[in-house]
Structure formats: structure tokens, C-alpha cells
Chain A
């Protein structure tokens, strides 16, 4: 009972943390007048988190490089926003604002998913760098198309004047954003912690072996691209409600790369890592923009890049390995929550259904295994016993 609760807490912790943040935000927003900039920052974070989680499905778990994720987002933003506008202008629907928003979400997600399906077909035939080029081209094509539309349809270069909730209550959009993050997590995490998720990671690890084991590679690859694109569309609709007008140039190549950076920094194949790094990078970006205004704005990209490089060095440099292992967040949490480390509990939980199969987690499991071997049965004795058993 206690163990199952522990594993439950471990694997659903992210929901709890996000819900807690949402709650605190709501209370603060209702209790005190919130600065518009804070609210805007939170709104940016929610969009970035949804984007990063959905991209991590493709990059971290399917193992395909996609550089056109912003393209899916812009499709969601433009089409979802346009639909909402058309409906709002058609009649006075002030009362059912939320309903229009939900409809926009569904349509934006569906359109993005359709494009994901098309790009997914390219992914069936192309691998690695070539697929990256195709997705990049897709993102650029979408951007160019939306830039060159007429001002009546999608606003062209001036941008689409997008719908919004009442301007005074910007926090509503943030709360909706948090709910959408929870929904995204629910779908993607449950997908990965199931049969289909196992098949997807199998394709990442060895496509030939996956085929020979009877995994339908076509189906799973298309599924991943469709789901990932659909959630990018959802993020797009959220974005279009928060920003008016939306311009196609926002969703350029740089934005795709920024999301990719979030996924890579968070650790490939780690959803929680993506969430954390998306949050931190968005905050970093925002703060840099605030502090380096005016003439100093030129330095913004410089500092941003420098900080990213430092983070990557810190994460990977062999010389810092000891330091990393001694002072990290996981140790800190362990110290606070469970002072007595019980490796056997970790070991037994390690391959349960509710663990997302990630490289990082498996490495952790491995290190605990080695500890057990040293303390309990030695390596040699186990070997001998097994050989004896086989004879």
C-alpha cells in the first residue's frame, strides 16, 4: 500500500506541482491586482510548456528530428483564431466565450493534426537530417503562406487580429493555459506509459528490430506526428487568444529551434525535464528582454546563447561529474522527503507500467542496481550460482 502510494506520488508528481502552481496563481490573481507583465510571462510559459512537451514526444521518444514545430503552432493559431473571429462576428456570443474558445481549440488542433499527418508521411520515408530539412521547409512554407494572404482572409503581413477574452482579466487565459498543460500531460504521458509508448520507444531504439518484432512502424510514426502536431495547434490557439494581432513571423525557424533547445536541455526522453526547461528558458528570455532594453538589446541574444552554452557544459563536462552527483536537485529532494534511501523499493518499481521508459531514469535504476550488488550478493557469486543452475 505504502509502496504503491510512493510510486503513484512519484509518477503523478508533475500533475500535482502544476495544479499547485495554478492554484497559487489563481489565488494571487484574485486577491491582488496582478501586473500585466507577470500575467503575460505566465501565459508565455504555458504556451512554451505545451509546445515543449508535444515536441519531446517526437524528438525524445520517437527519435526523429523535427525543426518545424512552430509551423504546426501557427496553423493552430491562425485557423483557430480565424474560426473564433468568424463565430464572434456572426452573432453576439459574449456569454459563451468559453464555448467559442473550445471550438477554436478543437478546430485548430484538428487542422494542425492534419498537417502533422502529411509531414508524418515524409517521416516514413526520410530519416535524420533529411527529415529535419523537410520539417524545416514545412515551417517556412506555412509562414510564407500566411504572410502572403490577403488582409481579409488571414491579415497578411500585418497579422491577423485575433479574438481575446476580456482584456482586464488576462489571468483567465493563464488558468486556461494551466488546464491545457494538464490535459496535454494527461494524454502524452498516458500514451507513453502504455503499449503504444513502448512501441514508440522501440522504434527509436532500433527501427529494424521493431519491424522484425511485428511493430507497425507506419502507424506509430504517423500517430506520434499527429498527436504532437495537434498539441502544437492547441498551443497556437492559446497563443492567438493572448496576442493580437498574431504575425506569421513570430512562428519562424528561430522559434522552432527555441522549442527544440527546451527539449534538448530538459533531457531527451524526459517530459518533466521538458516542462522545467521550457519554464526556465521562457523566464530567462523574458528577463533578458526586460533588463537589456534600448541599445543593450543587441546583447540579448549573446547572453542567451552564452547561458545556454554554460548550461550544456555544466550538464555534460566530465570534469564536473562529481560535483553534479553531489549537488543536484534529486539529492536535495531525497534528503528532504526520504532520509533513508531504500534502493530495493526503487528497484522493484523500476520497470512498472507507470514509468516512462527514459534513458535518464534507466541510468538511475542501473546505478542503484550496482550498489545492491556491492552490498548484497556479489557479482561473482551470482554468476556462479546461475551457471550452476543451468548445468
Chain B
């Protein structure tokens, strides 16, 4: 009987996880991770990752397949909760927050396999991104009763979304369904939607995957444009090393969940360990 009560107590405890005490630290970096890691059962998928990303940097995360790059992204956006270490955004600890709140705090991401709202128009996709901004606040009751604020907010949101689409050259397509855009434009739309949430840090998961050289170059320009125009810090995963070395200020190479090398693109990619990981002995 006592055993049973214990197990019930345990289950109830598991239903209400303890509030994590989040601390703030003094930090010069936009993103700082402290020996970040996660293990699934016995498998240590990622361990001891220390990233330090300064403002306005374009930071690359590279590595062979299965190195744990996307897992790091999932840790940073709250899809997974880290089992070791923690991370700070502008000195504010974000460990243990659910996905939407991580986004509210200022981390926005795109996905490796594009995830758009396929049955909604392009402009609506971006407007969903604007949903949580302070200046577009409008309660459900106000919307249902069609109070003046609803119309004002809707109009402003649409204008803002159009502005964003204009920057990405998608203005002409704004009334098309998102799923009917060509691949390159879908990528751009996903970035536009992420930017609409007004993040401090933008995570791009293989933005150049499946693109031809022309589109890749176009994308590089777009990412630079984002950094300059939105004063943005970018962390990106990419396999195309030419793309990475052409774009990134600093990179970190991961292999088997651990950091192999870091530094400027040239340094890190010429590191003998990295060469070994990619090409073999």
C-alpha cells in the first residue's frame, strides 16, 4: 500500500514539474551556451557545446550528418529540454521554457524541411508571425465584436507584413497559397515569417539545402541584408562549405555531438581534426 501511495505521489509530482529558477548574468553575447547537452537515455546526442555569439554576427554550425546540429537548434528553441548545461539570450537564462515562450523571448527559427502554413496565403503566413507583437495587441472579444481596434490592428498588421514581403521580393505573390510557391521562395517566406516575430537571434536550419548555385548566392545576399537591415544576429546550420565560408564570421564544427573546432571559417575548416572527420585519414 505504501508503495502504491509513493508511486502515486511520484506521478503527481511528475505532472507538476518544479519551477526552474532562471538567473540572469552579465553577458556581452547575444547567445551564450554553457556546456549545453542532452542525452536520450544512454545516448549522449549533444554534449558540452559552448557557443558565444556576438551581436550582428553570422555564426555557422557545421558538421557531418548526425553530428547533432539540429539537436542544438531544438535545444535552443525549447523543443527539447537540455539535460546538462544551460543557455542565455542577452544574459537571460531560457532553459526549460516551452517553444512559444522561447520565441517570445527572442529566438526564431526556420526548419530543415520547410514548414509553412500551406493552406494559407503568403501574406497570412507572415501575419501569423506578427501575432504576438505588443503593438498589434487585440483581444479575442474585441475581434468578435468588431471594435475599431480590430480594424486598426488588422490593417497595420497587413501593412507590416507587406513591408516584410517586399524586402524578400515576395510582394507580388502575397495572395498565392504558400504551398504553391517555388522552393526558393518558400525558404524566403519561412525566413520572413521568423523575422516577423521580431527576434533577437535567428536560427536557420540548412537554408541553402536543395538550392541551385544562383539561388544560393541570392540567399547569401538575403541573409546579409537581414543582418544589416534588422540588426540581426544569425546562427545557421549548413552543409555547403562554400556557402558557410563565404558568409559566416565564425563557425563551430560539431561531430558526434561534441565540438571539434571553432574559429573563423578558414581556421576551423583547415583544422586537421575537421579534415579527418569529413574526409577520413
Chain A residues at the B interface, C-beta cutoff of 8 Å: 186-187, 190-191, 194-196, 198-199, 201-202, 204-206, 208-217, 223, 269, 347, 350-351, 353, 357, 359, 362-363, 365-366, 369, 382, 386-387, 389-390
Within 8 Å CB of A204, what residues of B?
119
Report the separation of the CA atoms of residues A231 and B128 in the bound assembly, to the nearest whole angstrom. Answer: 26
Within 8 Å CB of A199, what residues of B?
128, 131
Report the separation of the CA atoms of residues A133 and B176 in the bound assembly, to the nearest whole angstrom. Answer: 36
CB-based contact B131/A215 at 8 Å:
yes
A204 shortest CB reach to chain B, Å: 8
Report the separation of the CA atoms of residues A287 and B221 in the bound assembly, to the nearest whole angstrom. Answer: 66
CB-based contact A208/B115 at 8 Å:
yes
B124 shortest CB reach to chain A, Å: 6
Within 8 Å CB of A196, what residues of B?
140, 143
Report the separation of the CA atoms of residues A359 and B108 in the bound assembly, to the nearest whole angstrom. Answer: 27
Select one of A195, A213, A350, A359 contacting B193, CB under 8 A.
A213
Select one of B77, B128, B155, B157 contacting A215, CB under 8 A.
B128
Q: Give the number of chain B interface residues (Cβ < 8 Å).
A: 50
CB-based contact A212/B218 at 8 Å:
no
A309 shortest CB reach to chain B, Å: 26
CB-based contact A351/B175 at 8 Å:
yes
16 A-B interface contacts by CB (under 8 A): A186-B144, A202-B128, A205-B117, A205-B120, A208-B111, A209-B111, A211-B98, A214-B100, A214-B104, A223-B140, A269-B119, A351-B175, A353-B155, A362-B120, A362-B121, A369-B175
B169 at the interface (CB under 8 A from A): yes
CB-based contact A213/B218 at 8 Å:
no
Within 8 Å CB of B193, what residues of A?
213
| Chain A residue with Cβ nearest B199 | A214
Select one of B119, B153, B155, B174 contacting A362, CB under 8 A.
B119
B8 shortest CB reach to chain A, Å: 20
Select one of B118, B119, B150, B214 contacting A194, CB under 8 A.
B150
Within 8 Å CB of B169, what residues of A?
386, 389-390
Within 8 Å CB of A359, what residues of B?
119
CB-based contact B136/A209 at 8 Å:
no
| Chain A residue with Cβ nearest B143 | A194
B249 at the interface (CB under 8 A from A): no
CB-based contact B100/A390 at 8 Å:
no
Within 8 Å CB of B174, what residues of A?
351
Chain A CB within 10 A, most for which of B108, B109, B140: B140
Report the separation of the CA atoms of residues A280 and B120 in the bound assembly, to the nearest whole angstrom. Answer: 29
Knowing that A206-B117, A215-B131 touch, tell me 19 more A-B residue pairs with CB under 8 angstroms: A187-B144, A195-B127, A196-B140, A198-B128, A199-B131, A201-B119, A205-B116, A205-B118, A210-B128, A212-B99, A213-B194, A214-B129, A351-B158, A357-B119, A362-B120, A362-B121, A365-B121, A390-B169, A390-B218
Interface string of B106-146 (1 = CB under 8 A from A): 00110100011111110110011101100010101001111
Within 8 Å CB of A190, what residues of B?
143-146
Chain B CB within 10 A, most for which of A209, A357, A359: A209
Within 8 Å CB of B146, what residues of A?
190
Within 8 Å CB of B116, what residues of A?
205-206, 209
B204 shortest CB reach to chain A, Å: 12
Within 8 Å CB of B132, what residues of A?
214-215
| Chain B residue with Cβ nearest A189 | B144
- Sorted from nearest, which 6 A-B pairs have the closest CB atoms? A194-B143, A214-B103, A209-B115, A205-B117, A211-B99, A353-B154
Report the separation of the CA atoms of residues A323 and B100 in the bound assembly, to the nearest whole angstrom. Answer: 47
Select one of A214, A269, A350 contacting B175, CB under 8 A.
A350
Known contacts A214-B103, A353-B158, A366 near B180 by CB under 8 Å = yes
| Chain B residue with Cβ nearest A385 | B172
